[in-house]
Amino acid sequence: MKWGFSFSTKILLIIIVANVFIATFLSLFMGYVSSYNYPGGEALQFVNSFVQSSYENRPVTIHMDVATCMTGANRFVQLHNNLTTYDKTETTKELFDLWNSFDILITDADMNIPSQDPVKSSLLDSSSWKKIKSIKAFKTVTIAPLIKIVQEAKQDPSTVLTLANIVKNDLFNRQATGVKDILTSAIVLEDYLYVYERVAEDKDLKSKYETLITQYKLNAEDEAPEVEHADPIAFDEVKEDINEEIDELEDKIESQLQDQLENQLNNQ
């Protein structure tokens, strides 16, 4: 028995197969992009290597701020020995008390730019610290490299063959170096964390703390000011609105597909 497909059916099959490939590619690409969302882990790995080479047989204390701890800096990445101490102190009073005991600092604050955080603004002094590393994190995705490839392919068709060879070589060698370089070119990164090494002791910490308490009305226990609670969320209304938006989106996609098929059939 011979099976036959109408032109519209073939178009639909092509669209379905293309969607599968596109969805798979986007999933892999976004998975690769997500690897840049853990600058804290990368910063801690750098600090561990730096400590092992520069603080051999010497005690060292590393302070990590909240942004660092929330982006991959955890115990699994830490060194486990008696000479290395990792500090995650958050309360203002304890930070001021322990500040001069920190040898390495990992923070999201760039000391070249005035901090909007009153505590960091009081503690961070560029004359006491030396920046030794900037850690980048994901910012956005750009299609500029894709546009460049398309333009080069128009001018020189061999560009497509070159890209195909890159993919073939990666598959043959069981690696993804070439493809990884292409994907990386589409990812825009920005400085997110900074690693500093202490070069001098901070002075007048007690007076800075007292000034901070006076100016910002923080108590000695580092209690945050009361925050007005938002009105309770009407989950049923939110759910209904989301369902309506999904229905509208589905209708819009279905209408666009029908229009495309009709246009292609009319052009035949």
Answer whether 103's CB lies under 8 Å from 62's CB.
yes
pTM: 0.69
Domains of the chain, earliest start first: 38-138+189-216 (3.40.190), 143-185 (no CATH)
Q: Is the pLDDT of residue 226 over 70?
A: no
Checking if the pLDDT of 222 tops 60, the result is no
Tell me the pLDDT tens digit for each residue of 131-166: 999 999 999 988 888 788 778 777 887 777 777 777
What local confidence, expressed as pLDDT, does residue 145 receive? 81
Q: Which of the residue ranges 1-10, 59-68, 136-145, 192-201 would you say has the lowest mean pLDDT?
A: 1-10
pLDDT at 82: 93
> What mean pLDDT do residues 70-92 have?
93
Asked whether the beta carbons of 71 and 39 are under 8 A apart, the reply is yes
How does the average pLDDT of the chain come out, rounded? 83
What's the whole-number mean pLDDT along residues 78-86?
94
**Euclidean distance between CA atoms 87 and 66, whole angstroms:** 11
Those residues whose C-beta lies under 8 Å from the C-beta of residue 34, and which sit 6 or more positions away, are 138
Euclidean distance between CA atoms 215 and 244, whole angstroms: 49
What do you get for the CA distance between the two ends of the chain, in Å? 28
Q: Is 65 within 8 Å of 108 (Cβ atoms)?
A: yes
Closest to 47 (Cα-Cα) out of 33, 67, 36, 62: 62
Q: How many CA atoms lie within 13 A of 167 on its CB side?
A: 7
**Contact at 8 Å (CB) between 208 and 123?**
yes
Q: Would you state the pLDDT for residue 22?
A: 82
Q: Where are the alpha helices (DSSP H) in the chain?
A: 7-34, 39-54, 66-69, 92-98, 118-123, 144-155, 158-172, 177-184, 205-216, 235-267
182-193 average pLDDT score: 90
What mean pLDDT is predicted for residues 48-52? 96
Residue 223: the pLDDT is 52
Q: State residue 156's pLDDT score.
A: 82
Rounded average pLDDT over 92-120 = 94
pLDDT given at position 67: 94
Separation between Cα atoms, residue 52 and residue 60, nearest integer Å = 10
Q: Are 136 and 193 in contact (CB under 8 A)?
A: no
Lowest mean pLDDT among 45-49, 108-112, 156-160: 156-160
Question: DSSP letters of 230-257?
Answer: PPPP-HHHHHHHHHHHHHHHHHHHHHHH
Question: Would you state the pLDDT for residue 257?
Answer: 60
Most confident of 122-126, 184-188, 218-222, 224-228: 122-126
Which pLDDT value is given to residue 120?
92
Cα angle 196, 198, 87 (rounded to 5 degrees) comes to: 75
